[in-house]
Amino acid sequence: MAKDKAKALKTADLRVPTDLGSNATKDLSGALTTLLADVFTLYLKTKNFHWHVSGPHFRDYHLLLDEQADQIFAMTDAIAERVRKIGGTTLRSAGHIGRLQRLSDNDADFVTPGDMLAELLDDNKRLVGFLRETHDLCDEHRDVATASLIENWIDETERRAWFLFETGR
């Protein structure tokens, strides 16, 4: 009996009611899940640099990167929950993130503070591009709720890029 119940749970239908068509759910869920993989990648890279920054501007860079990482992490749950609200499924593992991410990891033993800021600036600028592409898809499918969230994330990401640019001058 318990075995049958566990099997039924493994195959439970996770669809939710939505007025978006099945193509919209598929397209938007896929785009948002890929976006989520990039956001997790950027979060971990930002934390990596936060943990490993050194030098005369340590305190300022350390605090800046921690603040930015917190903001990036805050996006993750909102993205994943939006995927579920529109009837899709999303990331299930770190391996899944690795298969979808478009931003590169940085596993170097040492990265100069200037290179950290430049790399994060580039990644945030690329993320803005990914966000705009996803926004276009939202417009195509008339998903104003997701588009609205993305507009705020674009603003936040542009602000992070601006801070990284000005700090790294």
The full set of domains in the chain, from first to last, is 20-167 (1.20.1260.10)
Q: Which of 2-11, 73-82, 99-108, 150-159 has the lowest mean pLDDT?
A: 2-11
**Token pair in block for residue 78:** 């909102």
Contacts for 33-36 with beta carbons within 8 Å, 24 or more apart? 33/83, 33/88, 33/90, 33/91, 33/100, 34/100, 34/102, 34/130, 35/79, 35/130, 35/131, 35/134, 36/76, 36/79, 36/80, 36/83, 36/90, 36/91, 36/97
pLDDT in tens, 63-86: 999 999 999 999 999 999 999 999
pLDDT in tens, 146-155: 999 999 999 9
